[in-house]
Amino acid sequence: MTEQTINTGIDAKPLVPMPKAGALFGMGLAELTELMAGLGQKPYRAKQVFEALYKQRVGSVEEMTTLAVELREKLKADGWYVGLPEMVQTAVSVDGTERYLMKMVDGETVETVWMPDGDGGERGDGSEAAEEEAGEVETPEEAVAGVDAGLSTASAKSADSGRDDTSFWGRRGQGRDRAYFGTLAATGFRRATICISSQVGCAVNCQFCLTAKLGIKRNLTAGEIAGQVAAVLNRHKIQIGKDRINLVFMGMGEPFLNYDNFMGSVRRLVEGVGIPESRMTVSTSGILPGIEAFAKETLRPKLALSLNASNDGVREQVMPITRKWNIAALLEAVQKIPLRTREWVTFEYVLLGGVNDQPQHAREVLALLAGMRAKVNLIVWNPGPGIAYHQPTVEDIAVFQKMLIAGGVATYIRRPRGRDIYAACGQLKRTVAEEQLVTIGA
């Protein structure tokens, strides 16, 4: 499909243009075919490069062993390189979550998160990933667990915690060893989720989010977005086709303010790496032109809209972008998306104590979503320095969820992952000096 440019009308600092570089990762087959033709090579060479980049996930031109040595040397001499982001630092949570500081070729950094067994965010969205999470329940008590000794039991749902894995692997494995189903299965996990950034910083300025404090520096390229995934897959030796991997475009930045590069990365990940779009979810704060463009895509991830309030007054306070596109306009655009069979739209709702978590807010949410094929993910606010909100009470969370369910809206509490290392929702902030990170390889 022809890539399109959308005009958001957002007033933000000018983005620093990405310097033109010879990164191969991020290029499509047509671009690689053109490159090979310019080097006097036949089209099959482009397919070999494409396979090496996305299927084999090589880290250097030297590793493209299907190419003749002379061609590899020519590529390097002309300034071409693979260009995967460099994973320079990592922090590991007590619950197994890992947060990575990813450095791009120009030195800019973003954060990417690995969550073994995910966070339950796909439950109820109609996908295969949702079926895998069926029956997993997060309680209000677990969702508000602090960063203390109880975190490992409260927010960490390990591979074999409270689940009938014997019958699960019996049904799936038919007597075969777990290792037959990939690296994750061999270590006891059913799946994993990678949370990806789309911009260096963010321009949306959600008041409850640490990333908002960074402002915006520049967009990531399609290769830099998809490259985060490849780098994490390589770190964990993931076998696409065996291991079950979910992707969420919910890291730093607003994907729909970098629409073309975001969609370009989706195409590389689907057509190249081999991860189905049904295992991808993109979250937007509510960029109306982006939602309208997204509705026209034939290859697209699932959509999650960050609602976070039940009326425009509250939403303007916590998400100033509401002054540009109100809730009614966003819901109208969402309802025009041609949903696939069994697909449901996810509405994310960050619960802020005393701000948007009361029964009247739940009643207003029910009115907003009436008649829609929608599910709600409740996210208990994750604390961060310098942000003057507080978590809701266990009682308020329970009442809010019960009211939505009683009103006919499937509602789930998303499992917090990596709070102790600032890897949870709303906590990514390109941490370098604030916490003690562990350098990979140390």
Active site residues: 111, 425
Would you say 335 and 303 are in contact if contact means Cβ atoms under 8 Å apart? no
Q: Which two tokens stand for residue 231?
A: 């780098």
CA distance 15 to 201: 11
Q: 113: helix, coil or strand?
A: strand
Burial track 242-269 (b if 16+ CB lie within 10 A, e otherwise): ebbbbbbbbbbbbbbbbbebbbbbbbbb
Do the beta carbons of residue 195 and residue 100 sit within 8 Å?
no
Distance CA 100, CA 113 (A): 6
CA distance 56 to 54: 6
Q: What gap in Å lies between CA 63 and CA 69, rounded to an integer?
A: 10
Residues ≥6 apart with Cβ < 8 Å to 244: 129, 132, 182, 184, 190, 191, 192, 279
The amino acid occupying position 243 is D
In degrees, to the nearest 5, what angle opens at C-alpha 441 toward C-alphas 242 and 229?
35
Residues 6 or more apart whose CB falls under 8 angstroms from that of 425 comprise 250, 350, 379, 382, 414, 416
Question: What are the residues facing 192 on neighbouring strands?
Answer: 116, 245
| Closest by Cα among 64, 115, 55, 59 to 87 | 59
Chain CA centroid to CA 380, Å: 18
β partners of residue 306: 348
